[in-house]
């Protein structure tokens, strides 16, 4: 079966870009298809002395594969063009298919993201550091508002950019609602409304530039899959940020779980047979909300610095914590993960060395109301989960514990920032050996 889905299993920023880069290099894929999110993603790939950061483009653009942006994505046209131009300037010109059904992020969405955030915080009378559950932060890229308009059937789609007159008519209609709404949200009175003419020109030019690449990505992928060509489906964000199954309302607005590979591209689910999960050797979190294994103080600062845990999209410092088995185990079960790639073991090793840790804390379960559980709960209960730690000795044992407690083999281990800093493991033998850890549920 030719469809492989790759997902992050924590809260994003697991190092998916590097694993995708590795897989596309070592295995023969025909296409790399992104199925969710917009320019809120941040895949970093380091090749020799150059670091590439993609927010909007699929990670496959550095490879000789067909790249697809599926209908489950939202697209910021200027951002897409900037990233593509950056590649073009260094002589890389990947083929890119863009779904005619993907929704467009409009300038109003970015403003809406900002003003709605401000208004929600001030209405709740809360400071930035004390946000409540209905005022969770965003990456400020207009993602939430673009998906809301999609769900309200009030969005502009990529296919709409091909007909200038129709596009202008639709934009005028959207603008007639957005402009007064933005005023209501507190946009200063002296700020110019969006020019429909200018917006139409810009979006129409985008449509003309990409017109041969704007496709029905479902048919494009299904034709390839039917012939047995392999496709890597790239999930942005991560399972626990999924709009339905993630830590709502601190989640993102798109489908981040494995089924999104199908609904977010139009590829038939019958072709998807391998699910790869990417996890970082510790945990990081870009947004708000409960975080049971969070590390604070100087240790957190050091780990953040060592792992360069700053948002690729926002630049904001990320919160950091110990590896959380219930989080990853639940994500594996929910998505049927076949094997794991464990990234950033080098950063964890550096951290352990700095603090003279011969034993590395690993959250193996939670205690909740006097009971032990390995189920990752909804956000309402997450703050009440007390982590139970065990202390594997050394890295081999650390990996072994994760593999056994999660119940999924670890096939790749990231050992450094470069493209080739990945070790391949053959976990089969060890995964089958029964230890006391197997009794954990
Ligand atoms: P939005 O999806 O950009 O509106 O952001 C909503 C929440 O999802 C925020 O807490 C973000 O920090 C988080 N988020 C969105 N994209 C990513 C990502 O790629 N990595 C980590 N967190 C993300």
Each residue's pLDDT tens digit, 355-402: 777 888 999 999 999 999 999 999 999 999 999 999 999 889 999 999
Measured CA to CA, the distance from residue 400 to residue 410 in angstroms comes to 9
**CB-CB neighbours of 197 under 10 Å:** 11
pLDDT at res. 309: 95
Is the bond preceding residue 249 a cis peptide, omega within 30 degrees?
yes
Q: How far is the CA of 437 from the centre of ligand 1 (A)?
A: 34
Q: Is 13 a catalytic residue?
A: yes
Residue with tokens 């959380």: 324
Measured CA to CA, the distance from residue 277 to residue 258 in angstroms comes to 10
Two tokens, residue 182: 């933005």
Q: Is the dihedral of CA 92, 93, 94, 98 positive or negative?
A: positive
Q: Is 240 a catalytic residue?
A: no
Whether the pLDDT of residue 135 is over 70: the answer is no
Q: Which of 43, 63, 109, 240 is catalytic?
A: 43
pLDDT digits (tens, 9 = 90+) for 9-29: 999 999 998 899 899 988 889
Residue of 12, 112, 128, 235 to test ligand 1 pocket, by largest number of atoms within 8 Å of CB: 12
pLDDT at res. 25: 83
Tell which residue, 96, 108, 53, has the closest CA to residue 209.
Answer: 96
pLDDT at res. 117: 87
Q: How far is the CA of 190 from the centre of ligand 1 (A)?
A: 31
pLDDT bracket for residue 126 (50, 70, 90): low
pLDDT bracket for residue 344 (50, 70, 90): very high
- CB under 8 Å to 38, separation ≥6 — which residues? 55, 56, 73, 74, 75, 76, 105, 141, 142, 143, 146
CA torsion 217→219→220→223, rounded to 10°?
Answer: 150
Two tokens, residue 359: 């034993």
Measured CA to CA, the distance from residue 120 to residue 75 in angstroms comes to 25
Radius of gyration over every alpha carbon of the chain, rounded to an integer in angstroms: 22
**Whole-number percent of the chain with pLDDT over 90:** 79
Average pLDDT over residues 278-291: 94
Whether the pLDDT of residue 432 is over 90: the answer is no
Whether the pLDDT of residue 201 is over 80: the answer is yes
Cβ burial 311-346 (10 Å sphere, 16+ → b, else e): bbbbeeebbbbbbbbbbbbbbbebbebbbbbbbbbb
Residue of 40, 56, 239, 291 to test ligand 1 pocket, by largest number of atoms within 8 Å of CB: 40
Closest C-alpha to ligand 1, atom 19 = 41
Tell which residue, 3, 51, 33, has the closest CA to residue 235.
Answer: 33
Q: How far is the CA of 63 from the centre of ligand 1 (A)?
A: 26
Q: How far is the CA of 138 from the centre of ligand 1 (A)?
A: 6
- CB under 8 Å to 175, separation ≥6 — which residues? 108, 193, 194, 196, 199
The whole-model pTM stands at: 0.93
Atom nearest to 40 CA in ligand 1: 16
Whether the pLDDT of residue 438 is over 60: the answer is no
Whether the pLDDT of residue 431 is over 80: the answer is no
Ligand 1 pocket (Cβ < 6 Å) reads 11-13, 40-42, 136-139, 141, 143-144, 236-237, 241, 250, 252-253, 286-287
The helix/strand/coil state of 417 is coil
Q: Would you give the end-to-end CA distance of the chain in angstroms?
A: 31
Residue of 16, 39, 149, 287 to test ligand 1 pocket, by largest number of atoms within 8 Å of CB: 287
pLDDT at res. 336: 97
Q: How far is the CA of 45 from the centre of ligand 1 (A)?
A: 19
Measured CA to CA, the distance from residue 194 to residue 197 in angstroms comes to 9
């Amino acid at each position: 079966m030719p469809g492989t889905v790759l997902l992050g299993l924590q809260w994003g920023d697991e190092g998916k870009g590097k694993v995708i880069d590795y897989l596309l290099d070592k295995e023969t894929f025909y296409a790399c298809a992104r199925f969710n999110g917009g320019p809120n993603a941040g895949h970093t790939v380091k090749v020799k002395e150059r670091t590439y950061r993609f927010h909007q483009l699929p990670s496959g653009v550095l490879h000789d594969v067909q790249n697809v942006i599926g209908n489950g994505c939202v697209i910021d046209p200027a951002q897409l063009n900037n990233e593509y131009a950056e590649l073009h300037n260094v002589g890389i010109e990947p083929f890119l298919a863009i779904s005619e059904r993907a929704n467009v992020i409009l300038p109003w969405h970015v403003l809406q993201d900002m003003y709605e955030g401000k208004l929600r915080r001030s209405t709740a009378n809360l400071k930035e550091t004390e946000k409540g559950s209905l005022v969770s932060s965003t990456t400020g890229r207009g993602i939430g508002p673009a998906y809301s308009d999609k769900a309200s059937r009030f969005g502009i789609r990529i296919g709409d950019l091909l007909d200038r007159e129709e596009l202008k008519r639709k934009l005028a209609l959207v603008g007639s609602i957005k402009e007064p709404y933005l005023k209501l949200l507190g946009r200063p009175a002296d700020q110019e409304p969006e020019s429909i003419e200018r917006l139409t020109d810009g979006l129409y030019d985008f449509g003309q530039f990409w017109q041969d690449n704007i496709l029905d990505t479902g048919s494009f992928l299904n034709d390839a899959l039917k012939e047995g060509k392999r496709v890597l489906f790239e999930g942005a964000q991560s399972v626990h940020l999924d709009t339905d199954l993630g830590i709502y309302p601190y989640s993102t607005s798109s489908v981040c779980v494995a089924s999104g590979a199908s609904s977010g591209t139009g590829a038939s689910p019958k072709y998807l047979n391998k699910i790869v999960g990417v996890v970082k050797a510790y945990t990081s979190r870009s947004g708000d909300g409960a975080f049971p294994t969070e590390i604070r103080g100087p240790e957190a600062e050091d780990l953040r610095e060592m792992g360069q845990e700053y948002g690729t999209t926002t630049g904001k410092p990320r919160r950091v914590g110990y590896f959380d088995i219930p989080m990853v185990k639940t994500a594996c079960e929910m998505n049927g993960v076949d094997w794991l790639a464990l990234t950033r073991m080098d950063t964890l090793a550096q951290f352990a060395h700095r603090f003279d840790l011969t034993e590395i804390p690993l959250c193996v379960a939670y205690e909740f109301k006097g009971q032990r559980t390995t189920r990752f709960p909804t956000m309402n209960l997450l703050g009440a989960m007390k982590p139970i730690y065990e202390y594997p000795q050394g890295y081999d044992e650390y990996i072994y514990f994760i593999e056994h407690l999660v119940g999924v083999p670890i096939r790749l281990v990231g050992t450094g920032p470069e493209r080739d800093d990945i070790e391949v493991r053959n976990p089969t033998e060890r995964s089958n050996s029964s230890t006391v850890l197997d009794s954990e549920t």
